[in-house]
Copies of this chain bind each other. A is one copy, B any other.
């Protein structure tokens, strides 16, 4: 799912990894932030897949690299190759390719059958402006259905086992249930808005 986030941000603007992480954190809140240990490998994957591409670092091209001591010809050549694509502070600025745009669409539309459902939904909603209205509505309603199911299962479990749980676990479960209810109300608000804006 990180792919989706990166591609979505690069759609608007060319960025390097570090900046990408900052944008991501402010987009999804300081919770659920992304680590470099995921980000850089993911960028490498996307580059290998031809979905993003390191672009010429615009702005100041940086000083000549102060070659520290004697460099073998090999290393000097490598640095020369890097220089074309790295900015002043060794930045590698990435841009999205056409393949990347296509991949973005695909990921955004995909029924997230896999995994991390909360994270995936939040991410998709953050890029919902790229979806046609009916797909947006579908996303919201699928999410709502999911939460309603969750809630039903939680209530069932509570009815069956309440007496076996101590006060802390009960409070935890109650709070979780309440949070899910509020999530559903919030979704209802968004769905309402969505329908108003596309009535027919």
Contact = CB atoms under 8 A, between A and B. Distances in A.
Contacts of A27: 165, 169
A186 B175 contact: yes
Interface string A34-59: 00000000000000000000000000
Nearest to A129: B166
Contacts of A161: 26
Which of the four size classes fits the interface of chain A? Answer: 35 or more
A37 B106 CA distance: 28
A90 interface: no
A168 B31 contact: no
A165 to B, nearest CB: 7
B31 A172 contact: no
Q: What does DSSP make chain A's interface, helix, strand, loop or mixed?
A: helix
A182 interface: yes
Contact of A154 (B30, B126, B150): B30
B126 A176 contact: no
Interface in A160-177: 160-161, 165-166, 168-169, 171-173, 175-177
17 contacts: A26-B157, A27-B165, A27-B169, A28-B172, A29-B154, A30-B157, A31-B154, A31-B176, A122-B172, A125-B168, A125-B169, A126-B168, A126-B169, A128-B168, A175-B183, A175-B186, A182-B182
Interface of A: 25-31, 118, 122, 125-129, 150, 153-154, 157, 160-161, 165-166, 168-169, 171-173, 175-180, 182-183, 186, 190
